[in-house]
Amino acid sequence: MADLGRAALVVSLGLALYALIAGTAAATTNRRRLADSARNALLACFGSTAVAAAVLATALARHDFSFTYVASHTNRTLPLIYSLSAFWGGQEGSLLLWLLILTGYGALSVAVNRRLLKDLVAWVVPVIGGIASFFAFVLVAVSSPFDTQTRPLDGAGLVPSLQNPYMVAHPPMLYLGYVGLTVPFAFAMGALLSGHTDERWIIATRRWTLAAWTFLGFGQILGAHWAYVEVGWGGYYAWDPVENAALMPWLAATAFLHSVMIQERKGMLKIWNMILVALAFELSVFGTFLTRSGVVNSIHSFAKSSIGGWFLAFVVISALFSVVVIVWRLPLLRARTKLESALSREAAFLYNNLLLVALCLTILWGVIFPILTQLFEGQTRTLSRPYFDFFLRIFGLPLLLLMGIGPLIAWRRTSSRGLLRTVRWPAGVALVTGGALIVAGAGSSTPGLISYTFCAFVLTTIVVELVRGTRATGSLLELVARNRRRYGGYVVHASIVLLVIGVVGSSAYSTTREHELRVGQSMSVDGYTLTYQGQSTARGADNVQTNALLSLSGRAGGMLKTGVYDYDNQGLAKAVGIHTNWLRAEDLYVIYNEFDKQTNAIDFIVLVKPLVNLIWLAGFVFVAGSLVAIWPDAREQRRLAARLALARA
Amino acid sequence: MTALIVGALIAVAAVVLVALPFLRTHADDDRLDAPTPAEELRLALIEERDHALGALKELEFDHRTGKIGDEDYRSLVGPLRRAAAEALRALDRPQELPGSTANPDGG
């Protein structure tokens, strides 16, 4: 079995190299059959990688411990679903998943566009082939999931925190996002290399970019929920380097999705869009480097390994390649039109882009700062939460406000009188909301108060836009159908508002209390009264479970269980107790912190997190909005075909 | 042994798939179908035309939804109409495009 996996990966490497070399030769010498052959190599590469993936999945399902990877990440007691999810629980398996998705995306994207973008696809194939060659090489020569050993009686098992349903979906979702950003990158590079920098590559990759961005965004929400329910510290985002690694390409892709609209409407920002596409791709590979290399401390990262250097080299080479190609084609990317007014929709998009990229780069600085201090000063200095929170407020709040103002501004230019007329409703509602919040006591947090006031502004803007648009077209459905991207985008904006409300509520307005309780003693937090009833210990399949039972009164009733699980091979894990008040979208979150054997008391940490559940709701609204925007539109394909046909008439 | 046979079969299937374009099509039909410079220029003009027409549509919609007042609308619509007309005229002059062999009468 392992031999088959190894052989399939060697074939994948050969095919990816062929796609790179033959594809480059075909594109430079303008030979169609060689280009088709290279394209087929990419398809075959996906097939052989799928065989390798099937071999690993089978070994995991069968608990075949002769595979070192299987023995290192599973054991006999692990349920099948978690045995299979161990595919991405370790370094080698997740690299194989990366290659599988990359070749799958690559083969599909070139197959779909092979007729309308023949000239571009000829260059896209070697770009994807080059990236696939790197991953296949690492899998074959540096970090193979098919290394074998003398079969032990049992495996080491999967880290307890990874034995969670969210971990079944969260990593593949992130990979679909990370790897998906390769498609717009490859087509952008294809357009530059071929010298055909018209809008076809943008139209062809729009949905790919949106899909990758959606996967990346939803994957992060899933990851945040996993951290919240599983890691047991009461939060969902810790500005951890690996968490940031997923956020940075998402921010760059968000900037691209906005700025590309200016290129489509006015032919401007061509260079900027190329830079953003390249940045999003490079950040996604850099994120993989952070996760794999062990250069940063993170609960998400894999142990220090030998592949970090390879990844760093790949990031540097691919970034240099992007810069050289963009600089080479600068004359083709010059815009023929200019920004007409600082008070226009395109200007608002530009401000939004600058803020998004500034936020992305400050996060990047926060991530690489410890690496650089270690390198140059010999000691690691980290930038912690206050640094990230500060820049999130500095750039995030204006971004939130722009999300409300942007849609109200017309393209080309708007007079200040016209703008004042259109913002009067959102501004009025925002001011009333802000006043009401101060009266309600929300003034205890100034950033919180500003955020909620801006949220009211954005939500009113969305409602005003929908009402005015429906009046103009006569039907909401027709309005949305006419411009799915815009109105899907508004739904996504609404999801960001929900996210902000949830994040602000659960951080700026949360309460935390720590208290030692003996059996029968109580503590009160924000109207909740918790009485410790006693604890029990039970033997699980591969762990010893100690659970404390608390009765609730006051704002909630019933019982709540919180505990600590001691795994045979993997150490301790917290099992937090969460009581949700759905009406207030609030959680009562109880952590079993420590048991004092001398006093028989348990130290509980109790958090009340208002509105936290809106964050998870935001994830679903985000996906719904993205789906509206992604939904296939036959008119676009027809328009693309008509443009090409007319150009050739 | 089975693994070796399956591996060999995968390799053979891959080679066949890669060789297929050479087996199915004739060598004299071996040019990539890339746009010529004239076609590229026309493509750019079509994009300009679509930008201009799209901008007009957008302006009309913004005016109908009250995002643009009458005064702003009047000052913007003229230049946009002229830009659209110019883009359409440029597309109707294929004989002026470099490398074009098209008949000005449309033949």
pLDDT tens, A519-540?
999 999 999 999 999 999 998 8
- Cα B51 to Cα A282: distance, rounded to the nearest angstrom: 31
Average pLDDT over residues A564-574: 82
Centre a 10 Å sphere on the Cβ of residue A634 and count the other Cβ atoms it contains: 7
* Among the partner residues A34, A412, A422, nearest to B76 by beta-carbon distance: A412
Mean predicted confidence (pLDDT) in A384-392: 93
Test B18 with A40 for CB contact under 8 angstroms. Answer: yes
Taking CB atoms and an 8 Å cut-off, how many pairs form between chains A and B?
165
Q: Sorting pLDDT into bands at 50, 70 and 90, what band is B38? A: confident
Average pLDDT, chain B: 80
Best CA proximity match to B61, nearest among A411, A419, A173, A642: A411
Q: What integer best gives the mean pLDDT of chain A?
A: 91
| Per-residue model confidence (pLDDT) at position B106 | 37
Whether B48 contacts chain A with CB within 8 A: yes
Q: What is the DSSP string of chain B?
A: -HHHHHHHHHHHHHHHHHHHHHHHS-TTS-B--PPPHHHHHHHHHHHHHHHHHHHHHHHHHHHHTTSS-HHHHHHHHHHHHHHHHHHHHHHT-GGGSTT----TT--
Q: What is the mean pLDDT of residues B73-93?
A: 86
Which 8-state DSSP code applies to residue A510?
-
Q: Is the pLDDT of residue A64 over 60?
A: yes
Q: What is the chain B residue with the closest CA to A18?
A: B18
Nearest to B18 among A44, A119, A413 (CB): A44
How far off is chain A from B2, nearest CA to CA, in Å?
Answer: 9
- Asked if the C-beta of B78 comes within 8 angstroms of chain A's C-beta atoms, the answer is no
Identify the pLDDT of residue A295.
66
- Burial of A624 per CB tally in 10 Å (0-12, 13-18, 19+): middle
Residue A284 and residue A184: Cα distance in Å, rounded? 13
Q: Would the pLDDT of A155 be above 80?
A: yes
Token digits of residue A595 = 């048991």
**Which pLDDT band, with edges at 50, 70 and 90, does A407 fall under?**
very high
Look up residue A328 and give its two tokens: 């080479």
Minimum Cα–Cα distance from A648: chain B residue = B39
A255-299 residue pLDDT tens: 999 999 988 888 888 999 999 999 999 999 998 888 766 666 665
How far does the CA of residue B85 sit from the closest CA of chain A (Å)? 16
The token pair at A470 is 């429906």
Cα Dmax for chain B: 82
- Is the per-residue pLDDT at A573 higher than 50? yes
Q: For chain A, give the percent of residues with pLDDT over 70.
A: 98
Residue B16 pLDDT more than 50?
yes
| Phi, psi torsion values for A295, nearest 5 degrees | -75, -20
- 8 Å CB contact of B14 and A468: no
Q: Is the ipTM above a cut-off of 0.90?
A: no
- Distance (Å, whole) CA A593 – CA A588: 15
pLDDT for residue B96: 55
Identify the residue with better confidence: A510 or A288: A510
pLDDT digits (tens, 9 = 90+) for A234-245: 899 999 888 899
Residue A638 has pLDDT above 90, yes or no: no
Rounded to 5, what percent of chain A is helix, strand, coil?
A: 65, 10, 20
A1 pLDDT higher than 50: yes
Buried b (16+ CB within 10 A) or exposed e, A9-19: bbbbbbbbbbb
Alpha-carbon gap, residue A392 to A397, rounded angstroms: 8
Between residues B98 and B77, the one the model is more confident about: B77
pLDDT at A153: 86
pTM of the model: 0.92
The pLDDT tens digits for A464-503 are 999 999 998 889 999 998 889 999 999 999 999 999 999 9
Q: Is the pLDDT of residue A340 over 90?
A: no
CA atoms within 13 A on the CB side of A412: 20
Please enumerate in sequence order all residues whose Cβ is within 8 A of that of B32, keeping only pairs 6 or more positions apart, or say none: A26, A27, A30, A31, A32, A35, A118, A119, A122
Q: Note whether A445 and A508 are within 8 A (CB).
A: yes
Which residues have C-beta within 8 Å of that of residue A500, sequence separation ≥ 6? A400, A451, A454, A455
What digits encode the pLDDT tens for the residues A118-127? 888 999 999 9
What is the tally of helices (H) and strands (E) in chain A? Answer: 20, 9
